[in-house]
Structure 1
Amino acid sequence: MKKNRCSKWLVSLILCFPFLFILPIKGVASNSGFYVTPVIPENQLENTVDYFNIGVPAAMNQTLEVVIVNESTEPKSVRLTLLDGMTTKDGTISYDKEHTYDDSQRYRLSKIAKLEQNEATVEPNSSATVKIQLKYDISDFYGTILGAVNVSEKEPDNTQVGVNNSFAYNIPIKIRVAEEGKENRLNYKGLTLNSEKTKQTLDLTFQNPEPTILRKLNLSFTVYKKDKPAESLWSSEMKEVELAPNSLFSPELSLTDSKLKAGKYVLKIVAKSDVIDSSWESDFTLSTSEKQGMNGGVEILSESNQWWLIISVAILVLGGAGYVFYKKKS
């Protein structure tokens, strides 16, 4: 009985051993020990407490404050950065400075605001207040400027490579200048066919040219053979999309599993919300070479994973031989 248990354990070890080399190692972060909260000013437009939503005149001159609270027993060093509102590929509003800005965006939070300090150290069980100065003359502009202040924990000097336990907070800052813009528009800029070895996508570009947030936008996409609009060959949709003011929206539509053959096609786009009702069409062509480069999105045998396959087979063969030898000796 003991010998059988030993044999089963040895077989399980041999079968699982190759996978030990390919399982990812992931660091798990602990509690941050600090949090950030905005000091709500008198010109807050709505009854919100977790972000700034203020109305200002064209000649703005105001100071905003955020409080960094350290609840831990060790000092916390943080870095502060002003970010601009942008629209992600998934159709959500986020904040960053490393993205493509739209030409219609005349004013950015990172340009019209200034941090009193870019770094701060908060002592244990205490708090620190950091000021953001808004002092700028804005001309011929009615609408919203969207951004955020990012507060991120500085990593210790002894942090291991590949392990990131730092925390970050974004406090959104929504500035309405003069009054909210009344016009809502969505422009379609076109598509690019992006063909790679294991995937094929239609990269689209939309533009929100107005200083207003577009909300609850539903997009539907349909592909049909050119001159055969009644026969839908592929379709997809995106619901509840939000676009930041004066931003670009660049979704990627995957055609990897579409089963489309080489030929000429048309992509039909329909965009609808409470304030948007538009549609567009774009032609694109799939060539024979592009379709031959597709294999359903699965990399069958690349040079990088050939070695893993060889090593795994070798380990299994050696392990099997060892097991047979062990059985004979027993």
Structure 2
Amino acid sequence: MKNLKKWVTLILALAGMFIFVNPAFANQFNFSVKAILPDNQASKASYFDLLMNPSQTQTLTVELSNSTDKSVTVEQGLASATTNLNGVVEYSPNSIKPDASLKYNMKDYVKLDEEIVLEPKSTKTVKITVKMPDSVFKGYMAGGLTYKEKQGSKKTADTKGISIQNEYAYVIALLLSQSNEKVAPDLKLTKVSAGQVNYRNVINANLQNPSMGYLNQMQLSATVKGIDNPKLEYKSSKEMMQMAPNSNFDYPLSLNGEKLQPGKYQMKMVVHGQKDENGSYVVKDEKGNETRYKYEWTFVQDFEITADKARELNAKDVTIKQDSSWIKWLIIALIFLFLILIFFFILWKRRKKDQEEDEKTARIAELEKRLNEKDIEN
């Protein structure tokens, strides 16, 4: 069931990415969505990329269409952009906590209706009010508008007791800026610690982009090596990631099924961003091909995994074969104790029987003695 949920979530994420790039009617939906782009659109994107002045208020328009023969209730959502553990920017509401550097949260500057009812065979224009912050800033306020059919208006498949309901959503990015001036991203390694992803041990490196600029085409190489035990070494690399402005995420370095060993470690990480033919930083792949990047960050950080933490995570890791030898020894001990109890029981029964026989012999001897004494008297 857990794996099934993971696959459904992945499909929804991919669907969201597709819709974000090119909104179009899909047969999974009972409605379609179209962003009506205003004159102050800063780019030719199909989503909202608005150039506004400080304190400016603007009304955006989104067109919803229902081509079916029944009414459809659409939930309209809003969220600031975040970055997930795969290095993918998410524009829809999720459980990721806002980063500490997020000064302008979309929910404080955008007003919208939470639900829209679409009558059969109808089109409705939805109004969204956006207010630019009073203060001047450079870079992007990044977020997204989400449209999905309200739960309960779709049929739920129920097979052999398993209830599954696939949810699909249109996601329209909403970017707000006050100038065309690009802002360079920043990157910080805030924390390194042991953790788990899908019940598998990892070492998490929390990366933060406190800037109001996107970090695009992100390439990362990381190595973790034991300080107490230099034989322990883990490596990881990934490319073509992206970070939203004012966001953070935990980059997971997998232990590939190995047990976490307590002790002190050191992480070394090199991160590149924004491919650029004239970039100052060169990365070579295994074949010797060079790629130039505009940005580079190098991090070195020591951290420690306690014995309690290692024990806790190892016990939950589904890829680690748990040591059950204690069960074998417990069974042996119980069998041994049982045999001892049987031995003492047999010994006790034998002694009791001997004691009863001795008492019986004594009684017979006493009886014979009395009979003899009586014969003598007669």
Counterparts of 1:227 and 1:299, CA distance in 2: 23
- Matching residue of 2:121: 125
Counterparts of 2:175 and 2:315, CA distance in 1: 44
Residue number among 40, 58, 70 corresponding to 1:62 in the alignment: 58
Equivalent residue pairs, number:
280
Q: Could you tell me how far 1:287 is from its partner in structure 2?
A: 5.9
Q: Could you tell me how far 1:222 is from its partner in structure 2?
A: 0.9
Query: What secondary structure is seen at the aligned counterpart in 2 of 1:293?
Result: helix
- Matching residue of 1:72: 68
| Segment of structure 1 superposing worse, 25-34 or 71-80 | 25-34
Residue number among 105, 109, 116 corresponding to 1:112 in the alignment: 109
Q: Could you tell me how far 1:266 is from its partner in structure 2?
A: 1.6
Sequence identity percentage = 25
- Matching residue of 1:279: 298
Q: Could you tell me how far 1:298 is from its partner in structure 2?
A: 2.6
When residues 120 and 199 of structure 1 are mapped into structure 2, their CA distance, relative to the original with a 3 A threshold, is: closer
RCO comparison, higher one (Cα < 8 Å, 6+): 1
- Matching residue of 1:15: none
The residue type equivalent to 1:189 in the other structure is T
When residues 263 and 52 of structure 1 are mapped into structure 2, their CA distance, relative to the original with a 3 A threshold, is: same
Q: Which runs of 5+ in 2 are unaligned?
A: 13-26, 274-292, 324-378
Bigger radius of gyration: 2
Q: Could you tell me how far 1:140 is from its partner in structure 2?
A: 3.1
Alignment of 1:149 with 2:145, yes or no, is yes
When residues 300 and 257 of structure 1 are mapped into structure 2, their CA distance, relative to the original with a 3 A threshold, is: closer
Alignment of 1:238 with 2:238, yes or no, is yes
Task: State the TM-score, normalized to the length of structure 2.
Answer: 0.64
Residue number among 295, 303, 314 corresponding to 1:293 in the alignment: 314
Query: What secondary structure is seen at the aligned counterpart in 2 of 1:250?
Result: strand
More helix by share: 2
- Matching residue of 1:47: 44
Native 8 Å contact 1:197 1:294 kept in 2: no
- Matching residue of 1:223: 224
Query: What secondary structure is seen at the aligned counterpart in 1 of 2:41?
Result: coil
Counterparts of 1:263 and 1:175, CA distance in 2: 46
Listed as ranges, the matches of 1:1-330 within 5 Å are 31-49=28-46, 51-95=47-91, 96=93, 98-115=95-112, 117-156=113-152, 159-160=155-156, 162-194=163-195, 199-226=200-227, 233-258=233-258, 263-273=263-273, 274-286=293-305, 290=310, 293=314, 297-298=318-319, 300=321
When residues 63 and 264 of structure 1 are mapped into structure 2, their CA distance, relative to the original with a 3 A threshold, is: same
When residues 22 and 119 of structure 1 are mapped into structure 2, their CA distance, relative to the original with a 3 A threshold, is: closer
Native 8 Å contact 1:185 1:276 kept in 2: no
Counterparts of 2:100 and 2:147, CA distance in 1: 28
Native 8 Å contact 1:197 1:293 kept in 2: no
Counterparts of 1:86 and 1:199, CA distance in 2: 23
Query: What secondary structure is seen at the aligned counterpart in 2 of 1:245?
Result: coil
The residue type equivalent to 1:293 in the other structure is N
Deviations 1:169-196 (A, max 9, x none): 1111111123434333111101112279
Deviations 1:247-286 (A, max 9, x none): 1122222224357755433211111123421111222345
Native 8 Å contact 1:216 1:242 kept in 2: yes
Q: Could you tell me how far 1:24 is from its partner in structure 2?
A: 6.8
Counterparts of 1:293 and 1:174, CA distance in 2: 43
The residue type equivalent to 1:104 in the other structure is S
Q: Could you tell me how far 1:234 is from its partner in structure 2?
A: 2.1
Query: What secondary structure is seen at the aligned counterpart in 2 of 1:276?
Result: strand
When residues 40 and 238 of structure 1 are mapped into structure 2, their CA distance, relative to the original with a 3 A threshold, is: same
Alpha-carbon RMSD = 3.6
Deviations 1:220-240 (A, max 9, x none): 1112232898x8832111211
Q: Which runs of 5+ in 1 are unaligned?
A: 1-20, 303-330
Counterparts of 1:249 and 1:22, CA distance in 2: 23
